[in-house]
Amino acid sequence: MAGSFGVGPLPDSADVVVIGGGVVGSAIARELSRFELSVVLIERSPDVATGTSKANSGILHAGFDAEPGTWKARLNVRGAALYAELAEGLGIPRKATGALVVAKDAAQMETVADLRRRGIENGVPGLEIWNTDQVVAHEPNISPEVAGALWAPSGAIVCPFLATVGFAENAIRNGVRIITECVVTGLDVAGGRVVAVQTTRGRIATRFVVNAAGLHAGDVARMAGDGSFTIKPRRGEYILFDRSVGQLVNTVLFPTPDKVSKGILVSPTVHGNVFIGPDAVDIDDPDDKETTAGGLAGIIAGARRIVPALPLGTAITEFAGLRAAAGKDFVIGPSPVTRGLVHAAGIQSPGLTSAPAIGEVIVEILGEVGLKLRPKASFVPINPEKPRFHDLDRETQARLIASDPLFGRVICRCETITEAEIVAAIQSPCGARTVDGVKRRVRAGAGRCQGGFCGPRVTAILARELGIPVTAVRKDSAGSWLFLSRAQLEAGEGIHA
Amino acid sequence: MREFSYDVVTIGGGPAGMAAALAAREAGAERVLILERDRELGGILQQCIHNGFGLRRFEEELTGPGYAHRYIDMVKATDIDVWLDTTVLAAEPGGVITSVSPHAGLTVVKAKSVVYAMGCRERTRGAIRTPGSRPAGVFTAGAAQRMVNMEGYLPGKEVVIVGSGDIGLIMARRMTFEGAKVKAVFEIMPYSNGLTRNIVQCLEDFDIPLYLGHSVTAIHGKDRVTGITVSQVNDRLEVIDGTAFDVACDCVLLSVGLIPENELGRAAGVALDSITSGARVDQFRETSLPGFFAAGNVLHVHDLVDWVSEEAAIAGRSAARHARGELAASGQERSVMAGEGLRTVVPQRLSPFEPGRMSVRFYFRASKPMGASLLQFWADGVLAFERKLRVVKPSEMIVADIPVRKIGDAMTLEFRVVAAPEKIDAEDEIEEEA
């Protein structure tokens, strides 16, 4: 069965249905695609990586935070190692920056020492305690008030969007069908076993369902009569700074954590920006991604405690992300109520780091509960390389333009993104369907003008490549149309018509 | 990789780039090239289909494309080379310009003089930290203007404008013409940032309310914008509790300031002015990098294109002289400062005067609105020149010619705007000094 991506027809049946196209669902689908199985992934948005996976810190945690023996501890360390192995082949930008947990006083130095002990127990390599001089030598912009820090050389950063797209694209290359804009409305259970998934696009018969529905995973479980856990959305706000101040910090800087969260970080991104955030606020609405004046002020104050001279004038965007918290640990394993249903839920931090390891574990569990796993001889583990024009030397750039003239047309001037890259982002197996989808894949519109110049052009390219009218181009979510025509306005139809 | 040589190259083919190229050619530069990233010359003027351009330069009221085409025709009548659909990746010391285009590939141009003329970009929602959700329907006014005027699509039908910059005001009228309802313009400052004529012609004529001293404290909506929350602010621009109210809308257009697009200059090491965000230049519009000049909105944001053309011509002429080796950088530089009442001044320094120079034209922005005022020129701490101004507004550039004889041998030039002792007649305002 050939893989696919988009709003195509739902097949009548599948061996496994994965619910949720975040980084976890995509990593699971990719892991399943190693086997002779028909796998369908269902995603409610027009694109993958639109929930928790699109707005997080992009950190590959070293693994010293988690309580030894938990899923978090086990999957974090394994996941970080898997990224080191997989990232290049899947086209996932990753930088081994290392991380510092900064302590302000003697009491915090004790916490930091505890973290080191815990990290060693979890199998984290290379942990060291640094004094103030060592910290300041490594991070010249850090507050000179620091008492010391924990140095974790295996901490790294990754692009969370391209991680998700990398897994999803590879899954599609290996036969997985990803159906977008498809909302799960029910799970059919017969004799205590799941037998089908009901969706807004029809019914799909299956004996195995993986619940990777992120913030909605509790609802999905309850559709199968399983009330064993509840997801509490937790919101975190972020501020992203221009690449011109990218040299502000070299590593991921954590404050010494408290019981609720890892605190406000100051961190580089793989694309050369710097961000600050997140805070952690429990909320009720799993779609509430509003930033607040108080929240933004709070993360600025928090970040200033680590890096006093924050270049606030170079902020280019603010956003909020949601974490799907279900308790202290991930909820991973077969449903205690309904056979055939396997949960990958409550995936809060370090979920991004753990994702590929979660993929391995879920497949193992599916095998244990009866899924036949016959390795697929034709499995291709990597994605073809997609040139990033901006990062190449002049000679390679010239060669690329000679091979495809669209590499010679720069559409996004802030990030130097060419039309060829945008077309490839739309036409590749897990191709962009929205303006933000293009931004997540190739960064057109992610720079300092935030799409002021390239937004209209990207809209036009999407319309052309997808064969749809400009009025059907959306920003991100299913109902986020960008423009209407004069005829629509005159007919009083508005933007949602 | 193909290589070319030119005397003067302008990066950007908008009004500044074209005016600079024409002036360079007229001043004797033989090989002149314009590099333009768009499919046609004209820059942002092409999307400015309203009128009001050219009153000063052509003594006629033209539309943006109309003004642009006057210059495009002038360029076409010369042997100036124009490369369209061409993006400059780097412009480095020594005049080495690397550009790409779909038709010519990667190209290196060696220029004796380079004029930066890349224009400016709009400040974004992120830069002003407006809280709330991030639905579709929030656009910078310029991006919306391009879609409406050049592509024929509308960003919404119930519109709110944030900020009272000129593009936002123009778009308020434009969206009204297109049949949309423009509910209000909200400006955080106690005064407008747009030209008075635009307040009158784009808002007052259409009964669109302008709320001064108001800040947008949240944007609402999940898929599309559904509304905003607005509050009054105090004189420290802090939200006043209890003043919040909601406005329903499906579209928010931002007009909250323009920033010179100086990334090429920054990468090449050009010294920038922290207030204008443009290059620091002398009276020749030469930047800190010898042979690199700056013109138009990349140098400082202008309110009238007529000033852009005029000022860019200075850069073009200087570039031609530099290409011939006549603009030797020698002698001591004098500093120019924006003092009391002023936010910016261009040029920021003076190189030794060339023979025959009678006066130097300075461009200022005031730091706050004032009534009848005096523009003062202080040479080495001594008041050397005064000019009456009937009214002063940050949105309207002050332009003044200072005679070289008044500058004399002064090394430190400072300008101030102070309240005038008495009311000034309209006639005094247009009095030309030279």
With a CB-CB cutoff of 8 Å, which residues 438-457 of chain A face chain B? 448-453, 455-456
Rounded Cα gap, residues A151 and A112, in angstroms:
10
pLDDT for B80-117, tens place per residue? 999 999 999 999 999 999 999 999 999 999 999 999 99
What is the rounded average pLDDT of the residues A478-492? Answer: 90
What is the rounded average pLDDT of the residues A20-41? Answer: 98
Q: Check pLDDT > 70 for residue A494.
A: no
* Residue tagged 């290196």 (tokens): B108
Q: Is the torsion defined by CA of A164, A166, A167, A173 positive or negative?
A: positive
B37, B102, B134 ranked by CB distance to A319: nearest? B134
pLDDT for A247-272, tens place per residue? 999 999 999 988 767 789 999 999 99
- Using the beta-carbon criterion (under 8 Å), do A244 and B217 form an inter-chain contact? no
pLDDT for A353-363, tens place per residue? 999 999 999 99
With a CB-CB cutoff of 8 Å, which residues 276-295 of chain A face chain B? 287-293, 295
Nearest CA-CA partner of B283 in B354, B344, B332, B385: B354
- Which tokens is A24 given? 């976890």
The SS3 call for residue B64 is: helix
Q: Tell whether A491 is within 8 A of chain B (Cβ).
A: no
More confident residue, B206 or A448: B206
Q: Tell whether A480 is within 8 A of chain B (Cβ).
A: yes
- Using the beta-carbon criterion (under 8 Å), do B157 and A494 form an inter-chain contact? yes
State the Cα angle at B14 between A402 and B318, rounded to 5°: 100
Query: In chain A, pLDDT over 70 holds for what percent of residues?
Result: 99
Nearest CA-CA partner of B256 in B101, B140, B375, B377: B140
User: If you ran DSSP here, which 8-state letter would residue B286 be given?
Assistant: B
Q: Check pLDDT > 50 for residue A497.
A: no
pLDDT of residue A1: 61
| Annotated catalytic residue, options A61, A216, A271, A343 | A61
Q: Check pLDDT > 90 for residue B282.
A: yes
pLDDT for A155-181, tens place per residue? 999 999 999 999 999 999 999 999 999
pLDDT for B409-434, tens place per residue? 999 999 999 999 876 665 444 444 33
Q: What is the interface pTM, i.e. ipTM, of the complex? A: 0.94
pLDDT of residue B159: 98
pLDDT of residue B108: 97
The Cα-based distances of B13 to B16, B32, B144, B167, B304 in angstroms read 7, 12, 22, 20, 17
Q: State the nearest Cα–Cα gap between B412 and chain A, in angstroms.
A: 30
Query: In chain A, pLDDT over 90 holds for what percent of residues?
Result: 95
Mean pLDDT of the residues in chain B: 94
pLDDT for A300-359, tens place per residue? 999 999 999 999 999 999 999 999 999 999 999 999 999 999 999 999 999 999 999 999
User: If you ran DSSP here, which 8-state letter would residue A147 be given?
Assistant: -
Query: In chain B, pLDDT over 90 holds for what percent of residues?
Result: 93
Q: Check pLDDT > 60 for residue A116.
A: yes
What is the rounded average pLDDT of the residues B229-256? Answer: 97
pLDDT for A441-482, tens place per residue? 999 999 999 999 999 999 999 999 999 999 999 999 999 999
Contact partners, residue A340, CB within 8 Å, separation at least 6: A193, A194, A195, A206, A207, A208, A209, A369, A370
Q: What are phi and psi of A80, to 5 degrees?
A: -60, -40
What is the rounded average pLDDT of the residues B61-79? Answer: 98
pLDDT of residue B348: 97
What is the rounded average pLDDT of the residues A275-294? Answer: 94
* Residue tagged 């230049």 (tokens): B281
What predicted TM-score, i.e. pTM, was given to this entire model?
Answer: 0.95
pLDDT of residue A322: 96
Q: Examine the residue annotation and report whether A61 is marked as an active-site residue of this protein.
A: yes
Rounded Cα gap, residues B431 and B434, in angstroms:
10
Amino acid at B137: G
Q: Is B358 exposed, middle or buried (0-12, 13-18, 19+ CB in 10 A)?
A: exposed
Distance in angstroms between the alpha carbons of the first and the last residue of chain A: 36
What is the rounded average pLDDT of the residues B387-402? Answer: 94
- Share in percent of chain B as helix, strand, coil (round to 5): 25, 35, 40
pLDDT of residue A487: 86
The SS3 call for residue A449 is: coil
Contact partners, residue B210, CB within 8 Å, separation at least 6: B164, B184, B185, B187, B192, B199, B203
